Structure 1
């Protein structure tokens, strides 16, 4: 993807997320966390049962930045969306539910940047960056925020100038009781099977697969565990290399066919890999229907070598892994 470099808050956001030494992009997602923005007030709501996940994010963050991915909030009547126009510029807009007045807007992530200097003239600043929220705070406020997150206590950040004037906005981090199921309304692209309550992880692919002006990438993997005593975190840890190799192999197999797939109306597809002791099966589909056999033949050639000779052993846990792939145009 070739375009001129962009300046401003977009560049600032990317600098916060990018690890230029290791060429990685990362944004940890805390299950159930949601961001609600209202007039004069923004709320970062963290489920109490996601305390351990939140601690991992805090402990893995660097001294000045804590960045957290959020889930889509069905309670918000609009949601921030970032898109790239034909000129290559990024734009942000709020998409509203039909017939709804926009009062609560959801966001996809929040970044706490603890490098705000006293000379800036602000006690804290909040702003929209792409489809997320950035909160700039002084170092001492960042330390207080870390303590609140570790102690599972609520925390308020008044935003405005430090001249004693009126507070323009308050950002509140609060712990809430949430019992709503994850991934509500999601169905499998293979056969339409409901995935309500099935936990998933977002994927940032570090290898680009491009052909005929289109790219394919794996963006999310659903884990449907079949044994009641299976631990989700342990499964993720043991499957990370296998997950990566299977996703890359599938992308490699389908890359030569991106133009044909897109012209057939297939812009997203699902690969389901079912595992248990001494058995691996897989299917691929789109919109609840299996892919034509010619694409399955291509997947056979790419996936079977990984299953039998990859650097990671096949998981022995009884589960279905559903890989979500998107085909997009390059600009």
Structure 2
């Protein structure tokens, strides 16, 4: 059986002492499946570049990765807070026996000492999985990830013949079913199958209203999404749009426009954008205010012709500011 550990263990491992924040990079379509006696971490081959980003940004002792919700699992770990205490539960599909349980993240902690008497330890920590391994195993795991090779971790006591558990890290070919049922606020078109990325951007607030960009969809034309995707460019556009719309937040919110979409299209001979909510374009006076803020940013991001053509859609949410 997997052991239950304190949430503080994970927080201490993941805490960035320079910025006093917790960091966990989530990889789309990476799944963690736990069964009796074994766990399997399935990594899509197409996400190799993102895995390398995790490797390069992590310290030598810890690798932490967020996972996607798995529709293949018949239950999933959830973390519930009650009276200040965190508890782990496994929510199961109605009427289904629990065979495969999904998890939200995995943390590999490479600080296990050989003197502990354990080959490795696997533990449930809140809604995720923590695997404690020796420094030698950590180096082997890192090399396997770099080489796109599967890797098996044997958990349990060194002198125990039975009661072994296994954690398998597997590279898989997968049909990525992303953003199912999502539609564009700009014109109501389906965004299903379009790859997206979360955006970390600060709030813009005025008159007790908040505006935040949460996600960018890459509507690519002639090239695949890769590590060269202009995430920073998207953030600059998000900041410019938020600043320009800040004076209008109260009006937008009062008119029921809680979710906005900004679609930007760029090619060698084309630069345009559309702003909409609820499948309808916003009135022209909002666009007039956006021109002076957006056009310089958009033109500034088109200096690399190899990244063109490019089309992206940014999603913004408007909420009340709660004191």
Shorter-chain TM-score above 0.5: yes
Instruction: Give CA deviations for 1:79-102 in whole Å, capped at 9, x if unaligned.
Output: 4455778x8877665555555454
Residue 176 of structure 1 aligns with which residue? Answer: 172
Residue 215 of structure 2 aligns with which residue? Answer: 220
Candidates 55, 60, 70, aligned match of 1:58? 55
Give yes or no for contact 1:155–1:174 (8 Å, CA) kept in 2: yes
Residue 106 of structure 1 aligns with which residue? Answer: 102
- What is the 5 A alignment of 1:126-275? 126-129=122-125, 131-161=127-157, 164=160, 167=163, 169-205=165-201, 207-210=202-205, 215-227=210-222, 230-233=223-226, 235-236=228-229, 239-254=230-245, 268-275=259-266
Secondary structure of 1:175's match?
Answer: strand
Secondary structure of 1:252's match?
Answer: helix
State the distance in 2 between where 1:257 and 1:129 align.
44
How far apart are 1:65 and its partner, in Å?
1.4
Give yes or no for contact 1:58–1:146 (8 Å, CA) kept in 2: yes
Secondary structure of 2:175's match?
Answer: coil
Unaligned runs of 5+ in 1: 1-7
State the distance in 1 between where 2:281 and 2:44 align.
37
Unaligned runs of 5+ in 2: none
Give yes or no for contact 1:242–1:313 (8 Å, CA) kept in 2: no
Residue 4 of structure 1 aligns with which residue? Answer: none
State the distance in 1 between where 2:62 and 2:49 align.
19
Give yes or no for contact 2:49–2:227 (8 Å, CA) kept in 1: no
Q: Normalization by structure 2: what TM-score?
A: 0.76
Residue 77 of structure 1 aligns with which residue? Answer: 74
Give yes or no for contact 1:275–1:315 (8 Å, CA) kept in 2: no
Give yes or no for contact 1:124–1:157 (8 Å, CA) kept in 2: yes
Q: Normalization by structure 1: what TM-score?
A: 0.74
Give yes or no for contact 2:61–2:111 (8 Å, CA) kept in 1: yes
Instruction: Give CA deviations for 1:143-164 in whole Å, capped at 9, x if unaligned.
Output: 2222332343332223345563
The more displaced of 106-115 and 91-100 is: 91-100
State the distance in 2 between where 1:89 and 1:215 align.
30
Residue 64 of structure 2 aligns with which residue? Answer: 67
State the distance in 1 between where 2:31 and 2:244 align.
36
Q: Which entry has the higher C-alpha Rg, 1 or 2? A: 2
Number of residue-to-residue matches in the alignment = 316
- What is the 5 A alignment of 1:268-283? 268-283=259-274
